[in-house]
Structure 1
Amino acid sequence: WLVLGIAMVRFYIQKGTHRGLFRSVQKTLKFFQTFALLEVVHCAVGVVRTSVLVTGVQVSSRIFMVWFIAHSIKQIQNEESVILFLVVWTVTEITRYSFYTFNLLNHLPYFIKWARYNFFIILYPAGVAGELLTIYAALPYVKKTGMFSLRLPNKYNVSFDYYYFLIVVMFSYVPLFPQLYFHMLRQRRRVLHGEVIVEKDD
């Protein structure tokens, strides 16, 4: 992710605009974000002590944004909202992996720990805003082209409308985002303030 961050900064310095940035860094982005699926596996087998559900939701939503929105709908690649979630993801992952790396080395600087459990307070809402605005910008193109949609009649006798699916995805952020956000807030209180958090059984 540091490689991606450097590439983004270099592009903006050279071009002086965000237009074309996604196209410039998309190969690196797709590589790192797709291989993030391994994080779900690591959680499932116990390599990392993190919720499989939380990690799964985060990783799958990002992969969806990369492949089924930004990659598939080229007309929205220059939207400011795309750059917003790219910057947020990059800062978030650089901070998170720095935290994990120093933690494994048993030499965790306080600033890294502080950044890990404070930056998200602003970055999470900003990232969600970027993702939602990007999906919203994609809706007219999806509706016009009928991409990824399946109309009746067909041999499978089923229909699927990607346009309405994206609307459902947008509304799904309403229940999911607070759960992820408050999960991180609980982790923040536990790590930075030493509070004992008792998780309620579902």
Structure 2
Amino acid sequence: MQLLTPHVYWAQRRGEIFLRVDLSDAKNLNISVEENTLQFRGQGHGAKGENEYKFSLEFREPVRPEHRSTQRQVDIRVRKQSEHWWDRLTQQEKKPLFLAPDFDRWLTESDVEMELKNKEEERINSIRVESRVPKDPFLGVKRGYLFMYNLVQFLGFSWIFVNMTVRLFILGQDSFYDTFHSTADMMYFCQMMAVLEVVNPLLGLVRTAFLPALLQVTGRNVILFVIFGCLDEMQNKAVVFFVFYLWSCVEIFRYPFYMLGVVGTEWKLLTWLRYSLWIPLYPLGTIAEAVAVVQSLSLFDETLMFALPLPSLLGGSLSFSYSLRLYLILMFLVPCMFINMHCALSRPNKPIKINKQSRS
């Protein structure tokens, strides 16, 4: 191998020198400073191809070197013992032929002073802006409340999902018909807790539209408490399994997503699952709820449960099934309303002072 000198590019700041050695795939590097002179020796691909390269630089003043090698080049940072600008790099006035300015990093002293001045102005302006924004003394309490709420809901729906999955593997299709009796208590708890998602926007804790949140929670609670909870005949039907399972599949990803959003953390996989799984699960859940409503219509007509009393001339009473039929018409004629509601409510559950958020 020939012994050659690589191209070296330099730039400085008040307290340090930057050297960039144009040597790729460097190996066997030997970099040292003796009596204020930098000695470099190493193998790599430079201007003359794959060879061994060396050079030495006698600095103008005392220094302390550090170096870092990458696949494309060798970077050497030299700290000045005294922080001030040098009029030249080397002790000798004549610049070595292999040395050239690094224009990508080159700044004059006035450039650096202007850069520091701009940064200081930006810092002062940011402080002024922050000082104008009133600090919320209860921000920590809001974060803690929202974090614990989402954590409790996540644990509740996780229990339902795991319980139903295990029973499905053990009992097969037989698990469809006793889903209500095995998981209803936990589902009652979770859906009663969900009422807080209607209260939170009223209290200003989250940036959620009140009406969409009310429609979402009310729709589920009608299915759970009225159709499943009040009609014993519905509790043994397979549709209960599909409604509960689809609900829990959505929530085991939604609530941890919100929970991490409260503390300013994001898992990309969880974010992808949260915004992707609802695309098939939301319409499937809507269909399962519609099936439950259709199966309950005749039962409400027979039992006259929740029927509205009417004068005898008008027929005696108005069955609650008519309200459910209206619900079905709205569900299938205005599907875009439900999709837009989901999109509007699918941001993290954070305090209003932190970031945009919502529920779905």
Normalising by structure 1, we get a TM-score of 0.82
Deviation at 1:76, TM superposition (A): 2.1
Deviation at 1:27, TM superposition (A): 0.7
**Does the residue aligned with 2:309 lie in a helix, a strand or coil?**
coil
2:249 corresponds to: 91
**Does the residue aligned with 1:71 lie in a helix, a strand or coil?**
helix
- Bigger relative contact order, structure 1 or 2 (CA pairs below 8 A, ≥6 apart): 1
2:55 corresponds to: none
Q: For residues 44-70 of structure 1, give each alpha carbon's deviation from its aligned partner in whole angstroms, at most 9, with x where no partner exists.
A: 222122222211111010111101101
1:10 corresponds to: 166
1:147 corresponds to: 305
| Structure of higher CA gyration radius | 2
1:104 corresponds to: 262
Higher helix share: 1
1:124 to 261, 278, 282: 282
Asked if the contact 1:12–1:21 (Cα under 8 Å) also holds between the matched residues in 2, the reply is: no
- Separation in 2, partners of 1:137, 1:125: 18
1:33 aligns with 2:191: yes
Q: Which amino acid aligns with 1:72?
A: C
Q: Which has the higher mean CA deviation after the structures are superposed, 13-22 or 127-136?
A: 13-22
**Does the residue aligned with 2:276 lie in a helix, a strand or coil?**
coil
Asked if the contact 1:4–1:90 (Cα under 8 Å) also holds between the matched residues in 2, the reply is: yes
1:74 corresponds to: 232
1:42 aligns with 2:184: no
Structure 1, gaps ≥5 residues long = 192-202
Structure 2, gaps ≥5 residues long = 1-156, 349-360
Matched residues, number: 187
1:114 corresponds to: 272
Deviation at 1:2, TM superposition (A): 0.9
1:194 corresponds to: none
1:133 corresponds to: 291
- Separation in 1, partners of 2:310, 2:158: 46
Q: Which has the higher mean CA deviation after the structures are superposed, 104-113 or 7-16?
A: 7-16
Asked if the contact 2:201–2:207 (Cα under 8 Å) also holds between the matched residues in 1, the reply is: yes
Q: Which amino acid aligns with 2:169?
A: I
Q: Which has the higher mean CA deviation after the structures are superposed, 106-115 or 45-54?
A: 45-54
Q: Which has the higher mean CA deviation after the structures are superposed, 32-41 or 76-85?
A: 76-85
Asked if the contact 1:117–1:184 (Cα under 8 Å) also holds between the matched residues in 2, the reply is: no
**Does the residue aligned with 2:236 lie in a helix, a strand or coil?**
coil
Q: Which amino acid aligns with 1:106?
A: G
Q: For residues 58-110 of structure 1, give each alpha carbon's deviation from its aligned partner in whole angstroms, at most 9, with x where no partner exists.
A: 10101111011011112122333322221111011111101011112322110
- Separation in 2, partners of 1:134, 1:96: 24
Per the alignment, do residues 180 and 76 of structure 1 end up closer, same or farther by CA in structure 2, a change over 3 Å counting? Answer: same
Asked if the contact 1:150–1:160 (Cα under 8 Å) also holds between the matched residues in 2, the reply is: yes
The 5 Å alignment of 1:57-72 reads: 57-72=215-230
Per the alignment, do residues 4 and 30 of structure 1 end up closer, same or farther by CA in structure 2, a change over 3 Å counting? Answer: same
Per the alignment, do residues 183 and 62 of structure 1 end up closer, same or farther by CA in structure 2, a change over 3 Å counting? Answer: closer
- Separation in 1, partners of 2:215, 2:334: 8
Q: For residues 107-132 of structure 1, give each alpha carbon's deviation from its aligned partner in whole angstroms, at most 9, with x where no partner exists.
A: 21101111121111111101110000
Identity %: 27
Deviation at 1:174, TM superposition (A): 3.2
- Separation in 1, partners of 2:170, 2:220: 27
- Separation in 2, partners of 1:9, 1:52: 34
- Separation in 2, partners of 1:187, 1:71: 27
- Separation in 1, partners of 2:336, 2:299: 29
Q: Which has the higher mean CA deviation after the structures are superposed, 23-32 or 78-87?
A: 78-87
Deviation at 1:183, TM superposition (A): 4.2
- Separation in 2, partners of 1:51, 1:91: 24
Asked if the contact 2:300–2:319 (Cα under 8 Å) also holds between the matched residues in 1, the reply is: no
Asked if the contact 1:149–1:161 (Cα under 8 Å) also holds between the matched residues in 2, the reply is: yes
- Separation in 2, partners of 1:40, 1:34: 11
Deviation at 1:15, TM superposition (A): 2.6
